[in-house]
Amino acid sequence: MDTTPTTPSLLAELDALPARWEVHGTLPAPVDAVVALLLSVAEGRVGDDNLLVLARAPAARQGAMTVVAGAAAGAYRAEFAGSLSPVDIEVDRPGSRLAVQSWYAGVHTAEACAAGTRVTHRVHRLRPEHPGFTAGTAEAGLRARMSRDLRHVLAVIADRLGCGPPTA
């Protein structure tokens, strides 16, 4: 009998928690095409073609955020140049979901809808013990920041797919 302890996946942990903040937008494009870009995560520098949901993070814009593969299938870490703690990432391709955990833990999900593809970003928890956390962040407009970031992600995907603009 295998007695090796198992660590629950990040997605399983977040699935057990209610969403504290949620934003969504819709693209007039097939879900498979949107998922291919939204869930594109591979070893290398973070940018619009790799881990798009973090491409606007200050470290990514400076070229100082790199993805490395984790031990489990679909698990990755984004590491920073300097002393910042890494970001945990989990990709669930069959479920069309991407989880990210840094000073917050959230999930991006894509699903087909009548207008094309609906992308939802939910934040399930904040992590005050994380070095990147700043007190008051959630109260100072986390939902607005999530909306802005999701609009950017959807605009990049719309541009790549040559489809109409996203709607919020």
pLDDT band at residue 84, thresholds of 50, 70 and 90? low
pLDDT band at residue 35, thresholds of 50, 70 and 90? very high
102 near 130, Cβ under 8 Å? yes
Check residue 147 and give its pLDDT: 93
Check residue 64 and give its pLDDT: 85
Mean pLDDT value across residues 69-96: 89
Check residue 62 and give its pLDDT: 80
Q: Is the pLDDT of residue 131 over 70?
A: no
Q: Is the pLDDT of residue 140 over 60?
A: yes
pLDDT band at residue 7, thresholds of 50, 70 and 90? low
Q: Is the pLDDT of residue 110 over 70?
A: yes
The full set of domains in the chain, from first to last, is 12-161 (3.30.530.20)
Report the run of H or E that residue 149 belongs to, with start and end.
helix 142-161
49 near 39, Cβ under 8 Å? no
Mean pLDDT value across residues 148-158: 95
125 near 116, Cβ under 8 Å? no
Mean pLDDT value across residues 29-51: 96
Ranking 40-44, 86-90, 94-98 by mean pLDDT, the lowest is 86-90
- Average model confidence (pLDDT) for the chain? 88
Say how many C-beta atoms besides its own lie within 10 A of residue 27's C-beta.
Answer: 28
